[in-house]
């Protein structure tokens, strides 16, 4: 007769322990992915937003005007003179590296520039948009990039509403890589959800719209 003890399998307790260990490992992996994603978002807010804003205001304190405001009218990228944010911030004042644009976060990259909203009266804005080639600012954002924009909006305004307060969404933007001047178009004017149809984040850093 065959010895049944030689065919002994796993007990329920052993199986339960294995399942618990697998659950702990999966939880650690998922938590690690969340930590990496949150770290990228914080770096985006700092590198693509705060750092550029601090450099802009530092330049203003030193020179009595904003970078790119070559005719001293208080408006960035206005008039017929040569407006050059890059020359003011990077070349002359060295407040930001020449290779600042695009800002790279892992596989993501973003262009950052200054300009005005084209309104009456015009108001100064910082514009951030995703890019793959360092010069295009009209590519609709991905669902992942959407989370970067929503987090930036929440950090500045307290809530992620793309058409209210200081941070807005835009449906297109023209970016000049040689001067870092940005002209946003289709800026949201009423509270709205961020959407993958948006192409740029517009930040009214100087005064609220």
Q: What is the mean pLDDT of each run of 10 residues along the chain (209 residues)?
A: 56 77 72 66 92 97 95 88 92 95 91 95 96 84 92 95 94 93 93 91 93
pTM of the model as a whole: 0.83
Give the pLDDT confidence score for residue 21 in this predicted structure.
80
Say which residue the tokens 């695009």 belong to. Answer: 102
Give the pLDDT confidence score for residue 27 in this predicted structure.
67
Q: Half-sphere exposure of 147 toward its Cβ, with a 13 Å CA cutoff?
A: 11
Tokens for 108? 């993501």
- Reduced to 3 states (helix: H, G, I; strand: E, B; else coil), residue 122 is coil
Rounded distance, CA 205 to CA 166, Å? 7
Rounded distance, CA 26 to CA 32, Å? 10
């Amino acid at each position: 007769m065959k010895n049944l003890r030689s065919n002994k399998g796993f007990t329920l307790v052993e199986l339960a322990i294995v399942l618990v260990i697998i659950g702990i490992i999966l939880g650690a992996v998922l938590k690690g992915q969340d930590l990496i994603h949150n770290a990228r978002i914080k770096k985006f807010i700092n590198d693509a937003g705060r750092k550029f804003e601090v450099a802009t205001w530092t330049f203003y304190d030193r020179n009595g005007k904003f970078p790119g405001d070559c005719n001293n009218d208080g408006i960035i990228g206005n008039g017929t003179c040569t407006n050059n944010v890059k020359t003011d911030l990077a070349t002359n004042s060295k407040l930001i590296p020449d290779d600042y644009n695009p800002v790279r976060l892992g596989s993501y990259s973003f262009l950052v520039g200054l300009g005005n909203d084209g309104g009456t009266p015009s108001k100064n804005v910082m514009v951030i948009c995703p890019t793959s080639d360092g010069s295009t600012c009209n590519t609709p954002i991905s669902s992942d990039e959407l989370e970067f924009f929503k987090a930036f909006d929440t950090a500045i305004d307290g809530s992620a509403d793309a058409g209210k307060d200081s941070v807005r969404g835009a449906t297109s933007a023209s970016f000049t890589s040689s001067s870092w001047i940005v002209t946003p178009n289709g800026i949201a004017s009423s509270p709205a959800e961020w959407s993958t149809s948006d192409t740029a984040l517009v930040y009214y850093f100087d005064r609220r719209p």
